[in-house]
Every structure is written in structure tokens, then in C-alpha cells.
Amino acid sequence: MQADLLTEVKAKAKVWMDGNFDEETKIQVKNLLENDENELIESFYRDLEFGTGGLRGIMGAGTNRMNIYTVGMATQGLCNYVLKNFPGEKDLKAAIAYDSRNNGKLFAETIAQIFSANGIKVYLFDSLRPTPELSFAVRHFGCKTGVVVTASHNPKEYNGYKAYWDDGGQVIAPHDKNIISEVQKITSVDKVKWKGNSDDITIIGEEFDLLYLDKLKGLSLSPEAIANNENMGIVFTPIHGTGVTLVPQILKEIGFKNIISVPEQNVVSGDFPTVKSPNPEESAALNMAIEKAKETGAELVMATDPDADRVGCAIKNEKGEYELLNGNQTGAFLVYYLITKWKENGLLKGNEYVVKTIVTTEIIADMAKDYGIEYFDVLTGFKFIADIIKKNEGKKRFIGGGEESYGYLAGEFVRDKDAVMACMLIAEAAAWARNQGKSIFDVLAEMYTKYGFYKEALVNLVKKGKSGAEEIQQMMADFRSNPPVEIAGSKIVTIKDYQAQIEKDVVTGTEKVIDLPASNVLQFFTEEGSKISVRPSGTEPKIKFYIGAKAKLCCPEEYRKIEAELTEKIKAICSDLGV
């Protein structure tokens, strides 16, 4: 089998040696052929898959790598779909942005050339920008599509390509599958229109940032609290990414005056020199910012990922020590603030709603029910939140929402998670709490006392390469064919299989249809209220286990006691799952 695969891979590599590829690429392929069979296989054993969100992969030469050729072929397929989907329209437009990753500008300019070569006008940012600003640009300029070159929070070896549709959200059905079909038809680099028309490429810069920032300022709900706490210390780090300019700028523009930077991490670099991974979900990524907070006594620490669509936070706890919040805690705190202030400000008229993903904390649903606000559960992926906003546009008003993976949104002018916006609102919420003589930690404790203490954990099992992908598939198959009967001493009462779109009551054996698109996700619910969700990542070589437990919190003083009990419960669940 390995010999057959190697023969196939060498044949694909030879095409790159003999075809219309640049000399540097050919040298890289030649080196793989002569010196590294394992890397040769990884680089050519398949074509880099254009999934429902676009491309993401390790940079390098080969069909399974991110390079100008795989990017170019994907773009030609996207262009073909746009042209097919809007026949006869003369003013087709696209917006393109890129973050701080290596080769980002090269890939973005390549994409712009191909769009313009296909008669599609391009709005290209003059330098790196946050992903949410690309979403805003698609809507502002009336574009039919958009692309941002980013691998989000992946390690430095990666880059990626996210495709957007005319609503400013990432592509969903039927466009996602239809674009994939068009991309698959581009079987050779010779099918790509590489030579663009510079007259059809418009460069956009700081003047557009001001439009975006003005929209953000319109979301502010507590100007008096900010004015009363303008010197509140806020440490912010962009972790070498696109948040470096706009996050401090929006914080200053709404009135904060004590924004503390981490100079070493303000350096824009795709090598992310101060961190192992530029992922605010990982505690190590915030270490330098927390040290800066200890030096300065700051109230709040915030860190954004390279494309500034996710934000991680640290706050002072009841002992005055800095404590990291997970994505569920930040999201719950933010929604709690938004709902509370919408009510205080007389903005609740009866047609408002919030949205969360199925793997996100259930406390958001509890809060919405308490305030009589409609809420929606959607599949994992912010594109599904964007779709709910699109469907309700002009009929209902979106307050906010998000997902456990550190992505949040308020308002309707951006249709993807927005860490610039989230940083602004989290800082404002901290000032709002402080204005009442409270900390964010105090508000969290009050929230858990009112709705129940929800504690969640995420376990990632990384399975790299071809063998890893096969192992992940087998794990999901095993969970389906032989689901657990009991976890951590509590019986499974409900199983939801989102791929089969079936919810099964284990006790009665009855089943009902799940009214969401099919997705490779399994959920197990225990009789005492724990929720375990299992799904392969759509963008990384890992399988994810989302584990949640809940208990009653009688008063804030019991916070640590109940937290410890829930921590033990989660450990027991992990042990039973073997993760």
C-alpha cells in the first residue's frame, strides 16, 4: 500500500516538476523527491481540500499545501461560481483582506489578480486587517463575495483562505457545496486566469477603518460608566496580529485612557516569536500580558488572535489574582451585560434575540428565557450565526451571541465573530461593573447564583496527517456504533446525532428529527445534567470533546466549593471517555 502511494505521489510531483510552476517551487519539489519521502507523501498524497469554509493547511510546495497554485486554483473555482451565480450582472465585486501570517500579502495579491482577470472588481486592503472588517467591507461595497487570507489561531506553519458571500457571512449551503464543486473542476494550474487587470483593483486603507470604527462606537451602551472609569487599566495584546491598531484605537475612541500594551507582542510577525501558538484559547498565549497586568495592576487583560476574530480574557478574582476566563465564561458575561443594558436602556421591544452554538454554554439560553428573549441554537461555526441574522434581518433585532471558542458578535453590520467589537464591549462591561462597585468576577458569581453554576472544559486530541484523519473517523464511528451507557456514574438519557439528524430518548427509545443541517457531531446528555459533545475539527487535525457540568450555587461565597466539585465531575467524565 505504501509503495503504491509513493508511486502515485511521485507521479503528482513530476507534474509539478514539468508544468507551469515557478523555479523556486520546482526546486522545493525536487528536494522532496530526492531527500524526504515522508514529507513528499504529506505534500502530495491528496489535493488540499477546499472545505465548506475554504482552505487551511501548512505552507509549502505540493497539492496538499498552501501556496500560490492551490490558492489560485481555489480562487478560479470561486470566480467561476460567482460568474455562474450572477449571470449578466456587469458590476460584480469582491473584497480581499489578509492578516499577519507569512505569505499573506502574496496570497491576497494573487487572489486579487485572478478576480480581476475574471472581470470581477476588487477592493483590496492596503495592509493587514481583522477578519471582521473584511465581512463589513463585503456588505459596505455591495460585493458578491469576499476572501480573507488567514489561518486564524493555527501555528505559524499554516495559512488559510476563508470565502464569504454577499451577506458578509462565510459561505453556507447551497453555495458552500456548489463552490467546492467548481473548485474541484480546476484540475490544473493552466485553467487559472493568472494575469489580472490593475484598473479593476481598488486599494482601500485607513479611511475605511474609520467607517468600521464609527459603526462599532454605535454599539456602546454605557458611556457614563466609561467616563467614570476612564483610567481603568486595560492590558491588550494582539499576539503579533491584526488587532494591533484597531483595538487600542476603538478603546480610546469610546473613552478609555489607560490602555497598556505588551510591546514585544505588538511586533507584526507571521512567525509569532513570543508564543508557541498565537491562540488566545491557550493560557500560554496570555502569559506576557498577565505579567504586564501584574506590574500595572490592570483591571482587565485581553488578547486577540492573528486575524482578530477571537479574544481571550483574564480578570482579577476575589483574591485580586489574575484568572483566565474560558470562552463560555466570557460569552456568558458579555451576553448578560448586553441583555441587562438593553433592558436598562429601554431597548427591549419584544422582537429581540440571541444566538449560540450547540456546544456553547446553556446558561445563555437560561438568561434569554428569563428575560423573555428568543434564542437560537445553531451548529458549530459562526457562519450559522450569520445565517440566523440574515434570515431575521428587518424582522427581529439581534442583541448578540457567540460560541465557546472565544468568538462573539453584537449588532448586524458584521457577519462574523469580531474581536475588535468584543474587546470594546468587554472593556465597557468591566467599566459598568466597576461603576457599581463590582468586578467582572463579582458579576460572574452573581450570574451563576441566579442561573446555576455552569462549568465547561474542552479537550482536543490532535491526530496529524493521513493516519490521524483516519483515526478520527474511526473514533466517531465507534461512538456511533457503541455509545456510552453511563458517564461518571450518571446514565445517558439523550443522544443527539447531528449527522443522522436524530435525537434519541435512551430511556423510552423514542426518536425525533433535529431541525438543523447534517453535521458530524454527537452529543450525550446525562440524567444529572452533564452535556458531552464530540466532533472533528473542520479546520485542524484534531477531534474535540466539549464537556459541561452544572450545579446549584446558593451564594457567591460558595463559588470555589462548587467550582471544585464541578472540576472533579469533569475529570471523571474525561476519564470515562478515555481523553
Q: Which residues are catalytic?
A: 152
Distance (Å) of CA 542 to CA 80, 104, 312, 462, 472: 32, 24, 21, 4, 7
Residues in contact with 35: Cβ distance below 8 Å, sequence separation at least 6, in sequence order: none
**In this structure, what C-alpha cell is assigned to residue 518?**
447534517
The DSSP 8-state label assigned to residue 191 in this structure reads G
Give ∠ CA 172-177-40 in degrees, rounded to 5: 115
How far, in Å, CA of 224 to CA of 434, rounded?
Answer: 12
Phi, psi of 41 (to 5 degrees): -65, -45
How far, in Å, CA of 490 to CA of 27, rounded?
Answer: 59
| Number of alpha carbons in the 13 Å side-chain half-sphere of residue 352 | 22
Residues in contact with 192: Cβ distance below 8 Å, sequence separation at least 6, in sequence order: 72, 73, 75, 76, 114, 186
| Coil, strand or helix at 230 | coil
Residues 453, 563 contacting (CB under 8 angstroms): yes
How far, in Å, CA of 226 to CA of 232, rounded?
Answer: 9
Distance separating the N- and C-terminal Cα atoms of the chain? 31
For helices 37-44 and 465-481, what crossing angle results, to 10°? 60
Omega of the bond leading into 174 within 30 degrees of 0 (cis): yes
Q: What is the 3-state secondary structure (H, E, C) of 65-112?
A: CECHHHHHHHHHHHHHHHHHHCCCCCCCEEEEEECCCCCHHHHHHHHH
CA dihedral 360, 365, 371, 372 (to 10 degrees): 140
**In this structure, what C-alpha cell is assigned to residue 126?**
492596503
Residues 495, 506 contacting (CB under 8 angstroms): yes
**Residue 421: alpha-carbon gap to chain centroid:** 14
